Structure 1
Amino acid sequence: MHSFLLAAALLAISTVAKPFNTRASATPRCIPGQSCFPTVNEINAFNASLDGQMFSQRPIEAYCYLGDPLFNLAKCSNYTTNFLNLQYLTENSQTYEVPTWETCGIGNSCQLTSGSLPVAGQCKQGNVPNYAVEAQTQDDVVKFMNFASKYNLRIAIKNTGHDYQGRSAGRNTVMLWLHKMKEMNFAKSYIPQGCDASSSSFDSVKLGAGAQWGDVYEFAHQFGYMVVGGDANSVGASGGWGLGGGHSFLTPNYGLGVDNMMEATVVLPTGDVKIANECQNTDLFWAIRGGGGPSFGVVTEMVFKAHKEVPMGVVNAFSNGLSFTQSNQQALIEALAEIAPALGNAGFGGSLELFGPVGLVIQGIVPNKTADEVKALFAPMFNKLLAINKQDFEAFVNLFQFSTQPTWYDYGKTAFSGNRGSGFGLVFASRIIPAATFNNPSQLADKMIEGLQQGALFFSILAVGGNNTGARAGNDPTKTSVTPAWDTAVWHVIYFSITTGNQPGSSIPAAAYKTAHDSAEILRQYLPDSGAYLNESDLFEDDPPTAFWGQANYQRLLTIKRQVDPQNLLNIWHGVGWVENGGTSFETSAPDGGPYSCYPTIS
């Protein structure tokens, strides 16, 4: 299928044969252009075994460069028309939701800024993987892992490219692309493989690695069910979302994504295929339920618990014109914090985004509640704000709209269908807010506003639980490896910065990361014993093992990592084993400076 593109890219590769590579994990991986990289004949043979599913790739912006061999004005126009379309970005192997991760700084990128198109010159590769394998089956994944291990390749694993840490991109990598593995199956009274008939059964959906939440919600809806999943329809269900924990608007009622993950098929770096659940390969199952992907293997199938559909009480509020003074911002956050535990106990899951003094978006649901019942939950907040300053807050209170939707699917069709910042260089830094913090809502509000004043563009509050069960909704937290901070979580707070404006392409200015880091640092210092959500975290988190897992969980994860991936083939930024393998200094002796040479640095 892709033999022409592949052949063209192989012309510059050495044809010297090499023996099986058994070098230790500390040794730099083989990258294109080195003598240790597979020969033309070896790559062609591998590609033939995949029925032509391996291909070379360039940044998609190359279509817009007059001097580039890929220049194509029609394709350039298609890209510039769709670069903010998240679904479009997920359908291309070389594009990412955050275009920052397609670049390697201003000097090595294919970025498009302002001005007329096409542009002069030739596109540079940046941080886009040089080769991709479009996996269609589990056997393709096994072949990829065996090939990568044999030749000690630097690899990347990508599903939809929704990752905010750059973990699915990589300079001079060979990428495994899972997006086409979209199988979905529904089963009632499912018993995990290897469990006996007396084991508890549950209704389930089994999802291929490439299934996306929008498709999953529609599929489950056909059977009258819903699945705990993300709040963007384009996000991959079986990828980093679930492997890193997975919060949802349904979390206060049903727990995190990992609480609802009941089985997985995992291809290990050795090429071995394992079925992991609570009856077999239990350590591996525990590790992938929060240990982050893809640190332990490539998940090709995942089984989620399915829940019977129920009606949803809905709340929405939107404003881009109200003027909030700093004191009013703080009063708003304090009033919301006062009712947050009760909202969580009632099952409210949703988000509030505050864009400085003028912008506000609130959305959320409460399963099995009417519009009037949801409105009553917010009444104490309204009453307090109107008592503080009726003139300023009356317009705000009037923004709120309460309604109902018959199902989770019906709600998500509209609420989760937007592009939500795709095509921008969004930068994240976050903190989980435990229930005890809400005993002093004034102080919490003060710290959150102080964080915003460090320069963040805006912050988002994700309501994930109440003070009864946190974000776990009664599920046993010892069965998963996420940070214990989730056990008492009421909010998950994210600060955002941005590297670019509304334009295709992006450089990686360190200032944006420093801003996000400094904003979240206020809460990090305020709540030193809390944690952070791996998938939406600070790129420069001070202590990743403690923040993402807690030290007890991390030491167990590290032991499992060394068992299933002794060569550390699956090395990702802030992943399990990252610190022990040198962190940012990993493979800096490589000719290109190592896999993290494209990442910014801050002081």
Structure 2
Amino acid sequence: MKRRDLLKAAATLPLTPLLMRSGTALAHGVGTMAINLRSRVRPGQPGWPAATEWDRLKRRVGGRLLKLESPFVSCSASQTDSACAQMLKQLDNPFAVGDSPELTQTSGWADAWTSQPSAYAVAAKRAADVVAAINFARQHHLRLVVKGGGHSYQGTSDSADSLLVWTRHMNQVRLHDAFVPQGCAGYIAPQTAVDVEAGAMWIDVYNAVTTHGARYVQGGGCTTVGVAGLVQSGGFGSFSKRWGTAASNLLEAEVVTADGQVRIANARTNPELFWGLKGGGGGSLGVVTRLTLRTFELPEFFGGVNFTIKADSDAAYRALIAEAVSFYQRALFNPHWGEQMKLYGRNILEVSMMFQGHSKQQAEQIWTPFLEWVQARKDCQITKPFEALAALAKHLWDAEFLRKYLPDAIAMDDRPNAPRDRFAWAGDREQAGSFIHGYQSAWLPATLLQLDQQTKLADALFTAAQHWGVSLHFNKGLAGAPVDSIDRARDTATHPQVLDAFALAISANGGDPAFPGMPGAKPDLAKARRDAAAIEHTMAALRAVAPNAGCYVSESDYFLRDWQQGFWGSNYPRLAAAKREYDPDGLFFVHHGVGSEDWSPDGFTRLRR
């Protein structure tokens, strides 16, 4: 897989206009907060905390206050410094990048942002550490940043001159046989669940829930993504067509709000805060310290299907796309199938899909009609042979099993003394530190799969692929999912279009790591701008058949203008109301997050209230 092709880095597996108007006391106990237009302070400016004040904060958090600087400051032209060399060596290891509070999993976005370390970080190990950091930031008018996994493409876990709340070390996972959210006895029945601290990665949760607990939890496809960030953004995994979004399966959260209070949020306690955390975007309403997610019975099998087809002509490619669309509607538009079909220039269709609840033989039988259609044509060639793999579901994230049977599919954390159960999918490791050229997405409505609409869809996909590659993520649209999964997702802040979309279309590209100060980092901005323009043309072709399409907040255009509508649609006014209630002064700021329209783009200057 080429690092520059972010389309291929998407977990392919083998087997935030409403303004704050009032400073009155709040109904749910957040209390009165002074409202002003005071800008946040930077190092060296009047009001920046003195060394003695930082020392007091350090004592409050048990010594876990870190003064940060770029790991590349020690790099010389010859790159002989051992610390620099070691960092460069580990730059493609997402576990190592995540363990570095100075770094983010993406090094930046052309003409948008570049990864810069905060001035200080609180390496939180408990909720009290988060409380201390929030109170300190509020009292001293500091820019506050929150980072767990650090996977934000839009740079929301990154800002220079800020105080970072780094939750990486809050990573405990605990299973429940009969969990009832606080205050919900008699309202919500006991159910199997898992408690997850905010800094855990999905591999930590899958190890506990599936590999060792023989149950399923709906999480993300990339094992190194932080649990809290994914849930707050909505959260899709390979099997979301069956079990819904991660946000829709949130039962309860512990969250520290802007007044420094530790609150429980569930369906009956702080319900609007709870709803906002379910897809309203991370870092806008508070700092989550714990989440409790429902778990499910495992199916017998998880598996995957992979192959590639090349058409000999444009006419043949149009026919191939039309047949793929028709076949998807006939055979795959159901809870069993997720992941991707990818369309590229040069008339290439790549299939990398996953399934649940089928055996290998059943998967092969399902695909036989499509393969026979291809083989009967003289103008379409299978360039990568069809392969179906399946295994007992409990083995999908079982590192020991994968090392034995599918070693090329995974990339272990290869640092000395690294846990043996922590791995990334091989393709995901190659996107660590990548520099984004462009990234756009759009939900495609299931109406496009109707027989009288399929030709229009196929033509749009063909036109789109002539400009840049596009990938259809079928698991990131919930049309075709069971009623219970759709109903749970309906009660989240995620854009309502997800309920009626058969797929999320993504077009993207990027280049090699380009952290500031990194030796050899030379992003080609001219190429990046050409790529971004091509991606715009690609997505315009799809928006022509899906006008007013919303997009997924975590995988979207940094430069999106009407982002409130694009990310949340009709849900945005309710999210803005929750923001006014729980964070009226706007302590929590992220790019294009709820309430961010009240601030300058860098989050340092308040523009209105």
**Pairwise TM-score range, normalised by the shorter structure:** 0.7 to 0.9
Cα drift, residue 470 of structure 1: 7.9
Q: Tell me what 1:425 maps to.
A: 435
In structure 2, the partner of 1:78 is 86
Confirm or deny that 1:236 pairs with 2:226: yes
- Give 1:587 deviation, angstroms: 4.5
The reply to whether residue 223 of structure 1 matches residue 213 of structure 2 is yes
RMSD, aligned CA: 2.9
Q: Is the 8 A contact 1:470 1:487 kept in 2?
A: no
Contact 2:244 2:489 in 1 (8 A): no
2:75 aligned to which of 37, 61, 64: 64
Unmatched segments (≥5 aa) in structure 2: 1-32, 403-408, 410-423
- SS, match of residue 227 in structure 2: coil
State whether residues 146 and 157 of structure 2, in contact with CA within 8 Å, keep that contact through their aligned partners in structure 1: yes
CA 1:87–1:501: 2 relative to 1, 3 Å: closer
- Per-residue Cα deviation, 1:14-54 (whole angstroms, up to 9, x for no partner): xxxxxxxx874643211111111111111111112112211
Q: Tell me the residue number matched to 1:123.
A: none
What residue identity is the alignment partner of 2:589?
N
Instruction: Give TM-score scaled by structure 2 length.
Output: 0.81
Aligned partners of 1:30 and 1:37 also within 8 Å: yes
TM-superposition CA deviations, 1:62-101 (whole Å, max 9, x none) = 232369xxx8711222122221222221111112221126
TM-fit CA distance, 1:530 = 2.8
Q: What SS is found at the alignment partner of 1:64?
A: coil
Q: 2:203 maps to what in 1?
A: 214
- Name the SS of the counterpart of 1:189 in structure 2: strand
The two structures have a TM-score, normalised by structure 1, of 0.82
Distance 1:275 1:253, change over 3 A: same
Equivalent residue for 1:90, pick from 86, 89, 98: 98
Cα offsets for 1:380-417 (capped at 9, x unmatched)? 43244344x33523x24x62211211015426755652
Compare relative contact order (CA 8 Å, sep 6+) and give the higher one, 1 or 2. 2
Question: Displacement, 1:501?
Answer: 7.6
My pick for the range that moved more, 504-513 or 333-342, is 504-513
SS at match of 1:437: helix
Q: Percent identity?
A: 25
* Gap change, CA 1:460 and 1:392, over 3 Å in 2: same
Distance 1:54 1:559, change over 3 A: same
User: What is the CA–CA distance in structure 2 between the aligned matches of 1:277 and 1:178, rounded to whole Å?
Assistant: 21
Residue 66 of structure 2 aligns to a residue in which SS? strand
Aligned letter for 1:485?
A: Q
Deviates more, 1:368-377 or 1:139-148: 368-377
Measured in 1, the distance between the counterparts of 2:558 and 2:110 equals 16
| Contact 1:130–1:172 (8 Å) recurs in 2 | yes
Cα distance in 1 for partners of 2:580, 2:596 equals 12
After superposition, where does 1:229-378 map in structure 2 within 5 Å? Answer: 229-239=219-229, 241-318=230-307, 325-341=313-329, 342-357=331-346, 361-378=350-367
Asked if 1:494 corresponds to 2:506, the answer is: yes
1:118 alignment partner in structure 2 = none
Unaligned runs of at least 5 residues, structure 1? 1-21, 110-125, 591-603
- Structure 1 Cα separation of the partners of residues 574 and 601 of structure 2: 23
Change (3 A) 1:268 1:468: same
1 or 2, which has the higher strand percentage?
2
Distance of 2:240 and 2:73 partners within structure 1: 41
The corresponding residue for 1:569 is 587
Shifted more, 136-145 versus 28-37: the winner is 28-37
Which residue is 1:116 aligned to? Answer: none
Q: Paired residue for 2:456, among 443, 450, 462?
A: 443
The CA deviation at 1:196 is: 1.2
Task: Assess if the C-alpha contact under 8 Å between 2:95 and 2:224 holds in 1.
Answer: yes
Q: Are residues 1:459 and 2:467 paired?
A: no
Cα deviation, residue 491, structure 1:
0.8
Task: Kindly state the Cα deviation for residue 326 of structure 1 after the two structures are TM-superposed.
Answer: 4.4
Aligned length: 538
Do residues 40 (structure 1) and 59 (structure 2) align? no
Structure 2 counterpart of 1:475, from 471, 487, 502: 487
State the Cα distance separating 1:363 from its structure 2 match.
2.8
Aligned to 1:182: 171
1:441/1:367 Cα in 2 relative to 1: closer, same or farther (>3 Å)? Answer: same
- Which amino acid counterpart does residue 539 of structure 2 have in structure 1? A
Between the aligned partners of 2:524 and 2:269, the Cα distance in structure 1 is 43
What residue number does 1:392 align with?
380
* Other-structure match for 1:516: 535
The CA deviation at 1:494 is: 0.8
The answer to whether the 8 A contact 2:240-2:478 is kept is no
Q: Whole-Å Cα distance in 2 between the matches of residues 498 and 210 of structure 1? A: 27
Deviation at residue 161 of structure 1 after TM alignment: 1.3
Which amino acid in the other structure matches residue 464 of structure 2? G
